[in-house]
Amino acid sequence: MLDIEAIKKVIPHRYPFLLVDRILEVDEGKRAVGIKNVSINEPYFSGHFPEYPVMPGVLIVEALAQVGGFVMSDGASSDQTIGLLTGIDNCRFKRQVKPGDQLLLEFDVTRIKGKIVKGKGVAKVNDELVCEAEIMFAFSSI
């Protein structure tokens, strides 16, 4: 299990765009599982929507992609490489995510070709499906 400090050593995202609070499981090259605790203090809730706060779907997908970045890491620092989003297919949202929810984020690799990784991301709240998407990203030197 990786806490926020260990997460920051692997992926380059920082507040307010670091959307993973804990990594629960990593099976390198195959699967990763993380969590995101959704708080009313998230900066996007002030505008999305003030009277009815809902986590933007695009940020749920981004959180899934960030967990996906751990699948190909060996726990090493991200100083020299970065995962860049290259595609999202078959994305569906099944439920709203609101303050107080805890997202369980699962990413399973379906294909690796060179530096391109494709996988299926699934987000759940209390075992209820929130979002699923096929996500593809490429690792690039920085």
Q: Which residues belong to the active site? A: 48
CA distances from 123 to 3, 16, 20, 103, 111 (A): 19, 20, 12, 6, 20
Q: How far apart are CA 37 and CA 78, in angstroms?
A: 23
As a whole number of Å, the CA-based R_g of the chain is 14
Tokens 């990594």 locate to 23
Query: What tokens were used for 50?
Result: 């003030």
Q: How far apart are CA 20 and CA 67, in angstroms?
A: 7
